Structure 1
Amino acid sequence: MANSFDTRYPSIDDLRNKAKQRIPKFAFEYLDGGCNEDVNLHRNTSELREVQLKPKYLKDHSGSSLKTKLFGIEYDAPFGIAPLGLQGLMWPNAPEILAKAAYQHNIPFILSTVTTTSIERASELTEGKAWFQLYHPTENRLRDDIIKRAEAAECPVLVILCDVPTFGFRPRDIRNGLAMPPKMSLKNIIQVLGRPNWALQTLKHGQPNFETLKPYMPEGLDLKQLGKFMDDTFSGRLNEEKIKPIRDMWKGKLVLKGVASEYDTEEAIRLGLDGIIVSNHGGRQLDAGESTIKPLNSLAAKYGDQIEVMMDSGIRSGPDVARAMASGAKFTFMGRSFMYGVSALGKKGGDHTISLIKSELQQVMEQICCENTTDFPNHLITK
């Protein structure tokens, strides 16, 4: 698909600023914020941007290709759309917009268990190419049913999440009534009235719901009951006992997301997983933890020949993708960047943001004489 983007918004920062103007404050802060004092949120990007690349200007160069193979599939770029919860809260119909754009650009789209479209709809929009990220249910019956639905939807990759053993402590969300149980305050209603386009689009598409979970939810839940349902239904702490039945049941590729240590990487390899995503949940879970770029380099160097090593958290742009790839990531994912795009530009936001990041990454590759994405590590400046 030909790259095309709105020249009024030539950077992710431009999209972020526009998104802030377009959506209610409580929705923007849910998207934009981290946990506690946002230390690791900012560390993710700032430490990633300390990575430097070496150009080789006099080297023969026949052109650069973004195409990247992962799990035997060739994608048109080495980045995909990370799973985000409650996408429809930030912009109505957001997951469908992003799933369509990802399919058109031939990049992966990962659907979260707790976002606002269903497994089946995401599969329909991507012709069975959408990945699915599973929040681990407390009941085996529910776990098995969701996995069977993902299999029936032909999802090629199942992602299991290990970095949410507890809900992150997020002061903004608590102030805004988006903690569990959620609540709608007068302040939130006033914010909605100040964003009439967002309100009209929400009326058009309907109140956002956990569409994948609808078959398991009692009808007519109020917000307090919804909070109790979520607490009772999911247990985020993974271990061998929980992972082994999933590995036995799932015949496709299985990926562990939220890895930040050698211990968890070695466990993933031992349990037969196909890939890991080095991630700290976008800085939304552990403010006192490392940035994702810190463990990436050593994990990729030590285990990259045993398991596919990917990365998300802190990556915002094409140059950031290049930095992560040079540091050893086989593939990368972004969440906030794409949601800024959709929140800023609506149904055009997915295409615009993917095109923008592709263009940025292509320029970096041409500039440093990097012909293929696998060649990025040869351009890393080590300190």
Structure 2
Amino acid sequence: MQLKYNSNYPSVEDLIKRAKQKVPRFAFEYLDGGCNEDVNLIKNTAEIRDVELKPYYLSKHIASTQKTELFGHTYDAPFGIAPVGLQGLMWPNAPEILAKAAYEHNIPFILSTVTTASIERIAEITHGRAWYQLYHPAEASVRDSIIKRAEAAEYPVLVVLCDVPTFGVRPRDIRNGLAMPPRMTLRNIMQILGRPEWAMKTLIHGQPSFKTLEPYMEKGLSMKQLGQFMNRTFSGRVNEERIAPIRDMWKGKLVLKGVASAEDTEMAIRLGFDGVIVSNHGGRQLDAGQSAIASMQPIVENYKDKIKIMMDSGIRSGVDVARTLASGADFTFMGRTFMYSVAALGNEGGNHAISMLKVQLQQVMEQVCCERVQDFPNHLIK
């Protein structure tokens, strides 16, 4: 499809500035912030941008293509939309907007268990091409029900989240009342009144809720009861014993997300995973950990040809995608960049972000004379 995007917002920095003007502060800070002192949040992008690429200007270069084969499907770019919780809080109807754009651009969209669209709705929008990310439920019956729904909706890839054994301490969310249980403060109400477009669209689309989880909730839960339900329903810690029945049930491709060590990658291979997403949850879980790209280096060195290695966390631009692929990733995902774009531009945000990223990545490929995304490691300056 033709790549057109709004020239008023040619970079993610422009989108961030506009998004901050469009959504209430509590919603923007939920998207933008990390845990504790934001050390790992900042390191993620900074250390990706330490990666340098070597151009070969006199090489014979015909053309560059971004097409990338992954799990039997050829995508039009080597990046996808990472799972993000509570997307409808940041912009009404956000997961539907992004899923539609992902389908139209032929890139993967990963639906989070705790976002604001259902398994069935996103499958309908993407014609069965979306991936599904599973937050591990405490009860086997809920786990099995969710997996069966994803299978019935023909999701090709199930992504098991492993890096939330406990919720990160996020000072902004605590101050803003977005910890569990959530609460609406007078300050939050005043912020909503200052963002009339966001407020009107929220009124039209309805208060954001955990659509996938609604069949397992009692009707009319209060904020406090919702918090109790979430704490009761999810046990984020996964291990070999909990993974085995998932592998037995799921007949499609299985990916482990949140991997940050060679040891966990080795276990993922042994347990039958088809891929891993190296990630530190966008700097929202462990402030004292490594950046995602630093964690990925030994994984690439030891397991590059044994399992598909993907990465998210800290990737903000098409140039960052190039740097990450050059460092050995087979594929990349971004969450915040797409959400900034939807918050800034509403219904046009998904198409804008994908087009912008494709243009940025294409320019790098042609500049360094890289014909295929798989060739990026040949341009890495070590």
> Could you tell me which residue of structure 1 aligns to residue 161 of structure 2?
161
Q: Does 1:147 align with 2:127?
A: no
Structure 1 residue matching 2:346: 3-state secondary structure: helix
Q: What amino acid is aligned across from residue 278 of structure 1 in structure 2?
A: V
Distance in structure 1 (CA, Å) of the matches to 2:295 and 2:39: 17
> Could you tell me which residue of structure 2 aligns to residue 58 of structure 1?
58
Q: Does 1:229 align with 2:229?
A: yes
Distance in structure 1 (CA, Å) of the matches to 2:118 and 2:304: 33
Matches within 5 A, 1:1-383: 1-382=1-382
Q: What amino acid is aligned across from residue 176 of structure 1 in structure 2?
A: N
Question: Higher mean Cα deviation, 339-348 or 291-300?
Answer: 291-300
1:143-185, Cα deviation, whole Å (9 max, x unpaired) = 0000000000100000000000000000000000000000000
| 1:295 positional shift | 1.9
User: For this pair of structures, how many residues does the alignment match?
Assistant: 382
| 1:301 positional shift | 2.2
Distance in structure 2 (CA, Å) of the matches to 1:191 and 1:280: 30
| 1:358 positional shift | 0.2
Distance in structure 2 (CA, Å) of the matches to 1:300 and 1:106: 26
1:253-292, Cα deviation, whole Å (9 max, x unpaired) = 0000000001100110000000000000000000000000
Distance in structure 2 (CA, Å) of the matches to 1:161 and 1:107: 20
Distance in structure 2 (CA, Å) of the matches to 1:144 and 1:338: 30
Structure 2 residue matching 1:42: 3-state secondary structure: helix
Distance in structure 2 (CA, Å) of the matches to 1:253 and 1:301: 23
Give the aligned CA root-mean-square deviation in angstroms. Answer: 0.4
| 1:202 positional shift | 0.2
* TM-score, structure 2 normalization: 1.00
Distance in structure 2 (CA, Å) of the matches to 1:294 and 1:168: 21
Distance in structure 2 (CA, Å) of the matches to 1:319 and 1:351: 18
Distance in structure 2 (CA, Å) of the matches to 1:181 and 1:259: 28
| 1:300 positional shift | 1.4
* TM-score, structure 1 normalization: 0.99
| 1:121 positional shift | 0.4
Structure 1 residue matching 2:365: 3-state secondary structure: helix
Distance in structure 1 (CA, Å) of the matches to 2:266 and 2:296: 14
Distance in structure 2 (CA, Å) of the matches to 1:311 and 1:172: 26
Distance in structure 1 (CA, Å) of the matches to 2:105 and 2:257: 23
Distance in structure 2 (CA, Å) of the matches to 1:216 and 1:197: 32
| 1:297 positional shift | 2.2
Structure 1 residue matching 2:255: 3-state secondary structure: strand
Distance in structure 1 (CA, Å) of the matches to 2:198 and 2:279: 31
Distance in structure 2 (CA, Å) of the matches to 1:115 and 1:295: 27
Structure 2 unaligned segments of length 5 or more: list them. none
Distance in structure 2 (CA, Å) of the matches to 1:72 and 1:154: 15
| 1:298 positional shift | 2.0
Q: What amino acid is aligned across from residue 130 of structure 2 in structure 1?
A: A
Structure 1 residue matching 2:227: 3-state secondary structure: helix
Structure 1 unaligned segments of length 5 or more: list them. none
1:308-349, Cα deviation, whole Å (9 max, x unpaired) = 000000000000000000000000000000000000000000
Distance in structure 2 (CA, Å) of the matches to 1:377 and 1:311: 15
Structure 1 residue matching 2:225: 3-state secondary structure: helix
Structure 2 residue matching 1:255: 3-state secondary structure: strand
